[in-house]
């Protein structure tokens, strides 16, 4: 079975209580691209996937494949916003962003508005929220999800003047959830912090800022699906290229080839496998969204810090 072998992470809890906006990836004990494992980040205590109470954030999503026992890959119906986007001249990958994400073309940039709330249930919503589902993570995260107000300016023609990513938001997923880099809060081990992820691989930072560091299972699971766009304007896809092969990536975690959204070769990022060198988790592998550096210069953002 795909998830038969699981890594048991060290049971230290204190580090997360002071965790700022960082934390981390899923752990796996081997490196096979088609056989990666998810972190055993907890146990759901009230049964299988919660399809009970209606979560309004999940409107226009349709469940497909079950990825873990508590997270399902979903498709997002974008028909209600496609015409508006096309009328602005947006095409390709931009047409795959959830209608919960506001896209406005502005000169040579696209302004992306998002609230960073997941479009599925999470144990990190307030327990009185219709989008709450019960689940116990290995490590507690004391924060609860709250709506953010993000406004990112993303260049339509990305540069190649790369730079290191800073703390905070480095991109946005197609469902409007923020993407963070692959670094933990100072003094913390990001591979350990993976134990605080909810079943779909997100968790909230202080201020209720829900975000992904690692392969987000409601969007992509060992496939070539579009995951989102980074602030430098390059899109990010799942582990595989559209022909099903595992790409060879540069130090930024990207390469140039055709994508599911482009028949001509374009630069893009991929979910990429990394190995911990930290003492407590040395050798642990995880599928991160970034390597910590941008290929191009990031656009401006309000609400990203
Ligand atoms: Zn590729």
Q: List, for residues 65-96, the tens digit of each pLDDT value.
A: 888 878 999 999 999 999 999 999 999 999 99
Average pLDDT taken over every residue of the chain: 84
Distance 33 CA to ligand 1 centre (A): 14
According to the model, what pLDDT value does residue 166 have?
83
Distance 147 CA to ligand 1 centre (A): 32
Predicted confidence (pLDDT) per residue in 141-197, tens digit: 999 999 999 999 999 999 999 999 988 899 999 999 999 998 877 777 888 888 999
Residue 17's nearest CA partner among 190, 206, 219, 253 is: 206
Termini Cα distance of the chain: 40
More confident position, 13 or 128: 128
Residue 39's nearest CA partner among 245, 293, 276, 241 is: 276
What DSSP string describes 28-43? Answer: BSS--TTS------EE
Rounded mean pLDDT, 108-120: 97
pLDDT at 277 over 70: yes
Distance 234 CA to ligand 1 centre (A): 11
Distance 237 CA to ligand 1 centre (A): 7
According to the model, what pLDDT value does residue 49 have?
54
Distance 275 CA to ligand 1 centre (A): 20
- Domain range annotation of the chain: 45-182+196-269+288-302
Distance 28 CA to ligand 1 centre (A): 22
What is the model's pTM? 0.83
Judge whether 148 and 303 are in contact, CB under 8 Å: yes
Q: Based on DSSP, count helices (H) and strands (E) in the chain, helices before strands.
A: 3, 20
Predicted confidence (pLDDT) per residue in 50-67, tens digit: 555 689 999 999 988 888
According to the model, what pLDDT value does residue 51 have?
54
């Amino acid at each position: 079975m795909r998830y038969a072998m699981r890594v048991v992470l060290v049971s230290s809890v204190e580090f997360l209580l002071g965790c700022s906006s960082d934390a981390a990836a899923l752990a796996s004990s081997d490196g096979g691209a088609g056989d990666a494992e998810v972190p055993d980040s907890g146990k759901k205590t009230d049964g299988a996937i919660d399809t009970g109470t209606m979560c309004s954030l999940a409107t226009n999503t349709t469940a497909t494949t079950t990825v873990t026992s508590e997270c399902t890959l979903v498709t997002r119906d974008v028909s209600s916003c496609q015409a508006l986007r096309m009328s602005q001249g947006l095409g390709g990958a931009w047409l795959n962003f959830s209608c919960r994400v506001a896209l406005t073309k502005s000169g040579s940039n696209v302004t992306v508005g998002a609230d960073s709330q997941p479009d599925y249930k999470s144990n990190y919503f307030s327990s009185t929220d219709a989008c709450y589902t019960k689940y116990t993570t290995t490590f507690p995260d004391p924060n609860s999800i709250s709506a953010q107000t993000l406004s990112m300016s993303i260049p339509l023609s990305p540069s190649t003047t790369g730079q290191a990513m800073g703390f905070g938001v480095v991109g946005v997923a197609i469902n409007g959830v923020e993407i963070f880099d692959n670094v933990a809060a100072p003094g913390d081990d990001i591979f350990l912090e993976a134990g605080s992820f909810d079943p779909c691989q997100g968790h909230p930072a202080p201020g209720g800022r829900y975000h992904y560091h690692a392969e987000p299972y409601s969007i992509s699971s060992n496939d070539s699906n579009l995951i989102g766009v980074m602030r430098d304007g390059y899109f990010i896809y799942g582990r595989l290229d559209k022909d099903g092969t595992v790409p060879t990536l540069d130090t930024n975690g990207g390469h140039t080839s055709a994508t599911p959204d482009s028949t001509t070769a374009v630069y893009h990022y991929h979910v990429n496998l990394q190995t911990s060198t930290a003492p407590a988790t040395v050798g642990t592998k995880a599928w991160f969204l970034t390597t910590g550096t941008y290929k191009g210069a990031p656009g401006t953002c309000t609400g990203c810090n």
